Amino acid sequence: MSLTKPPEGLSYSATPNTPRQDWNHSDRIKRESRHIYNKLHSISHDSAFIRRIHALFPTLLLTVNLRCGAWYTDPTITSAVSYFKSTDGHTHQWSFSLKRSNLHLVPLIVGAGGAVVVDSTRRGKSMPDALSKTIPVWCAVLNRASSRKYGCPEADREGFALKTPRWMIPPTEHDQIDAKMEGFVKSLLDSDLQVPKLEKPLKPVFITPQTNLDSIEADS
Extents of the domains making up the chain:
30-190
φ, ψ for residue 126 (rounded to 5)? -70, -35
- How many Å apart are CA 144 and CA 55, to the nearest integer? 32
Give the residue-averaged pLDDT of 208-214.
82
Q: Is the pTM of this model over 0.85?
A: no
114 pLDDT band, cuts 50/70/90, is very high
Query: Where does the pLDDT of residue 23 fall: very low under 50, low under 70, confident under 90, or very high at 90 and above?
Result: very low
> What's the rounded Cα separation, in Å, for the pair 192 and 149?
14
What residues are paired with 63 via a beta bridge? 80, 117
The kind and range of the H/E element at 81 are strand 80-82
Q: 118: part of which helix (H) or strand (E)?
A: strand 115-118
Give the model confidence (pLDDT) of 34-58 as tens digits. 677 777 767 777 788 889 999 999 9
